Amino acid sequence: MGEKVPDVISQERIYPSRLNSMTLHQNHLPTMMDSTSSSLHASLAKLELSDGNSLYAKLVVGADGAKSRVRELTGFKTTGWYYSQNAVICTVEHKTENQCAWQRFLPSGPIALLPVGDKFSNIVWTMNPKESSACREMNENDFVKALNHALNYGYGPHPQSNLLGNNGDIFSWFRRDLTVSANECFEVPPDVVKLVSGRMVFPLSLRHANNYASKRVVLIGDAAHTVHPLAGQGVNLGFGDAFALSRIISEGIAVALTLGRCSCSFSQVHLLKKFEAERKRENIMMMAILDGFQKAYSVDFGPLNVLRAAAFHGAQYISPLKRSIISYASGEQRLPLFS
C-alpha cells in the first residue's frame, strides 16, 4: 500500500479487467436520472433504464453525443443554431495508398478527404441541403465523378465567384507576375476510384450546453458542444474535456486524501463547476473561431475570396505562424488566451 501503481499497469491490466467485469446495458435508454438518498445508495446518482433496471454511480459522465439523453434528463438547456449546410460523409477508395489529409474550401462549403489507412479515405463534404439530397440520390459513378471534380477542378485553389464574370478565376485580377501560382502550392489529391460505403447526410449545427455540470452529473464532448466540422476540431474539444475532467477528479481525490477524508470529493459540485468554468472558456473561444471561419467562407465575394486565399498562402510561407496553426489545430498547443 502507499505505492503508486504505474500508469502503464493501470492502463494495461486494471482498466480492461474492470471493463470486462462490468455489465453493459446496451439498447436500454436511461429514462430518469435522480440523486438518491436511500441508505443503501446514499449520495449516489441513480439512472433508471428503459428495461426497468437502475444504475447507481458517484458520477454520471454524459459522453453520449450531440443528442445527449443525459443532458436532456438533467434538464440542461442549450444555445445554438443550425447552419444552412449539410455534410455528406462516406468512405472512398483510391488506386494507391493515401497518407495525406486534404481540405478544400468551395463556394458551397468545404470538402475534406481524410486518410483512414491503406487506400481508403473518409469524405466530409459540406453543401446546401438541396445539393446534399442530390448527392445522396445520384448513382455511384456520377457521385464519384462529382467528388473528383470537387476535389480537383482547376488544379488549384481557384474558388469560383458567381459575382465575377471571368469564369470565377479570382487570380486573373492580378497581373501574371504578381499571381501566387496555385499550381506551385497545390498538390492534387489522389483520385477517388470507388465508393466503399453508404452516403450519410448530417445537418450541421453549433450547439452549446448552458451548463456542463450539476450535482453528480457532468457533460463532455458533443453532449456539451457541437461545432462545424470545417476544421476537424470536434474530437479535440472532446479530448480536452476528458483530459480536464480526469485531471480535476484526480486533484479532488488528492485533496480529499490529504485532508484525511475517506470519501472522494470528486462528485462535489465545486469540483465539477471548476471543470465547467475551465472548459467553457476554451470551448466557447474555439466555437467562436470556427463559427467565424464558417461565416467568412460562406460569403462568395470576389475581393474577399482574394483576401482569404492570400491569407492562407501567406501562412504557408511564414513558418512559425504555420507551425502554430498546425499545433493549435492538432490540439497539441492551447489557444494563446489559455496557455
Residues that bind ligand FAD (CB under 6 A): 29, 63-65, 69, 87, 89, 114, 124, 202, 221-223, 229, 232-236, 238
Residue 55 Cβ vs ligand FAD, minimum distance, rounded to whole Å = 11
Of residues 161 and 283, the one with the C-beta less far from ligand FAD: 283
* Geometric angle at alpha carbon 225, from 224 and 230, rounded to 5°: 155
Output phi, psi for 207, to 5 deg: -145, 140
- Which alpha helices (DSSP H) does 125-233 contain, by range? 129-137, 140-152, 182-185
Quickly list DSSP for 78-142: EEEEEEEEEEEEEEEEESS-----EEEEETTEEEEEEEEETTEEEEEEEE-HHHHHHHHHS-HHH
Of residues 65 and 154, the one with the C-beta less far from ligand FAD: 65
DSSP-assigned beta bridge partners for residue 47: 33, 55
Computed over its alpha carbons, how large is the radius of gyration of the chain? Answer: 24
> How many helices (H) and strands (E) are present in the chain, helices listed first?
10, 13
Residue 25 Cβ vs ligand FAD, minimum distance, rounded to whole Å = 8
**What sign does the CA torsion over 274, 276, 279, 281 have?**
negative
CA 229/CA 127 separation, integer angstroms: 12
Residue 6 Cβ vs ligand FAD, minimum distance, rounded to whole Å = 28
Residue 197 Cβ vs ligand FAD, minimum distance, rounded to whole Å = 13
Residue in 290, 308, 304 with CA at minimum distance from that of residue 105: 308
Of residues 78 and 233, the one with the C-beta less far from ligand FAD: 233
Residue 297 Cβ vs ligand FAD, minimum distance, rounded to whole Å = 16
Of residues 59 and 63, the one with the C-beta less far from ligand FAD: 63
Of residues 158 and 207, the one with the C-beta less far from ligand FAD: 207
Name the region of 331 (left: φ>0; alpha: ψ -120 to 50; beta: rest). Answer: left
Of residues 43 and 103, the one with the C-beta less far from ligand FAD: 103
* Geometric angle at alpha carbon 195, from 96 and 200, rounded to 5°: 135
Residue 47 Cβ vs ligand FAD, minimum distance, rounded to whole Å = 10
Residue 181 Cβ vs ligand FAD, minimum distance, rounded to whole Å = 29
Of residues 87 and 249, the one with the C-beta less far from ligand FAD: 87
